[in-house]
Structure 1
Amino acid sequence: MDFSNRSLVEEYLDDPNLEKESFRKAYLDINRCNTLLGGTAITLKAIKDLIECHPKKSYTIYDMGCGDGHLLREVAKKFKNTGITLNLVGFDLRDDVIQLARDSSQSYQSISFKKADILSLDEVPDCDILLCTLTMHHFEEKEILKFIEIFSELAKVGVIINDLQRSKSAYFLFHVFSLFFIKSTIAKRDGLISISKGFRKLELKRMADNLKNVHHTITWKWAFRYLWVMKPMQPN
């Protein structure tokens, strides 16, 4: 497979006719993968770093492309006994996915979910921290440029993007990992396609250069992730 350019192959999870039960099974595998390979921990650490740099009593945190809400539940657990009040809001485009997230998060009073297209967030109020995890690779670059500009305007403390590195090594290792730890056919297939639709660091830097008045850090993380943190520049 040629990894020099991002793949244009559609993922099963992008199929508008995919059934809710198929989503549920796929997200169980995706969540397991993120836990075992440390993807969730990367985002939680980045949130903690932003909070420590901007201490407040309460934060509103958005998760764009929240899926079944797993990440927000992990955020709620991470900061449960810290004395910090969190308002956690997940956004997704599909009604059935939003319902799945609500069903899975009933015991979390700090979490809510809303239907929204991340390419059109005109009526969404500002937040403190905005998360975008394993969502960006579903879009073409021109669409990404549109919504990261919106993200940088919405988030007053910072934006945290956690997405995949595109490489032969990542592709091969996920294939081996999936033989033992991934149960659903959809998650196995989509995991490999997601890697082929992932990013190289220079591609992320090129997109970052399009945003003004934003400070960026783009860091490679195990296992084959890029953590892209955006912070609004402070006026002189």
Structure 2
Amino acid sequence: MTSGRGFRHRSSEPELMDDFTQGGDKLQEALRHLRRLNRILRANGPALYGVKRLWNRSGRPDRLTILDVGSGSGDINRRILKWADKQGVKMRVILADVTEEARAEAERLFRNDSRVLFVKQDLFDLVSEQADIVTASQFAHHFSKEHMPSIVEQMLKVSRMGVVINDIHRHWIPWVAVWFVTRCISGNRYIRHDGPLSVAKGFRGSDFRSLARRIESSGMTYSWRPLFRYAVIVPKQREAETNENGI
């Protein structure tokens, strides 16, 4: 078990899912089990929180396109789609991931929902202003501190309204919880290895304060959300706002 001292700094150990030379049935099974873990740990809450904030900031448009990078099966977006239905928002969701396993699970999960499209693309291959809001759920912790600014700036480039990052709070309590839950719900090696490691690779407020100083955007905010998660919101600065501020 990782010691409390080990949570002072982010782990640099790679997750099994970061090895794209592996995969197949076991990875596809892991994506299915991850949906179960996400439901138990309420992983979709911060993403919806951030989307609602940017939607309100942009005048509550009646049409909205979400692009979810590193989406996996895209299950996080089901709650966002239900929210859009209640608000009368015509929603379109683009799921972007680089694995065939993610494509297979996403297309199976959303086979009856024409609002959801999967594209097999890397973040840096996406087109500028391709979506209103670009989200990343449990994606950012796969990258080092050095790479985070370029990741966020590329997400901003792809968005029209801004970026929402939903990721894990690095702390011993969620580590223990995830270690226990993964062993209760799954025998899959990806889930058992990567679940607790994701917490050790997660974030604290100091990480986001450091990131805010290094990206070319004003107005980035972060907030702690249940259960031991962060919602990071990076609004896209409009040209009029830039001119008004004299920057």
TM-score (norm 1): 0.90
2:67 match? 62
**How many Å separate the matches in 2 of 1:206 and 1:162?**
17
1:180 match? 184
Q: Where do 4+ consecutive residues of structure 1 move more than 6 Å?
A: none
2:110 match? 105
2:44·2:77 contact (CA, 8 Å) conserved in 1? Answer: no
Q: Which residue of the other structure, out of 13, 20, 44, is the alignment partner of 2:48?
A: 44
Asked whether 1:130 is paired with 2:134, we answer yes
* Alpha-carbon offset, residue 147 of structure 1: 1.5
1:59·1:85 contact (CA, 8 Å) conserved in 2? Answer: yes
1:134·1:162 contact (CA, 8 Å) conserved in 2? Answer: yes
**How many Å separate the matches in 1 of 2:101 and 2:35?**
18
Superposed CA deviations along residues 31-64 of structure 1, whole A, max 9, x for unmatched, are 2222222221221232223223321121111000
1:101·1:113 contact (CA, 8 Å) conserved in 2? Answer: yes
Superposed CA deviations along residues 202-223 of structure 1, whole A, max 9, x for unmatched, are 1111111112333111111222
Task: Give the secondary-structure state (helix, strand or coil) at the position aligned to 1:70.
Answer: coil
1:220 match? 224
1:221·1:227 contact (CA, 8 Å) conserved in 2? Answer: yes
Q: Kindly report the root-mean-square deviation, in angstroms, between the aligned alpha carbons of the 2 structures.
A: 1.9
Task: Give the secondary-structure state (helix, strand or coil) at the position aligned to 1:213.
Answer: coil
Task: Flag the 1:185–1:98 CA change in 2: closer, same or farther, 3 A.
Answer: same
**How many Å separate the matches in 2 of 1:205 and 1:78?**
30
Query: What is the aligned length?
Result: 235
Give, as a single letter, the amino acid of the residue that structure 1 aligns with 2:221.
T
1:14 match? 18
Task: Give the secondary-structure state (helix, strand or coil) at the position aligned to 1:198.
Answer: coil
Give, as a single letter, the amino acid of the residue that structure 1 aligns with 2:51.
I
**How many Å separate the matches in 2 of 1:101 and 1:40?**
16
Asked whether 1:115 is paired with 2:120, we answer yes
TM-score (norm 2): 0.86
**How many Å separate the matches in 1 of 2:106 and 2:128?**
19
**How many Å separate the matches in 2 of 1:158 and 1:149?**
10
Superposed CA deviations along residues 103-146 of structure 1, whole A, max 9, x for unmatched, are 3211110110112212x235354321110000111112222211
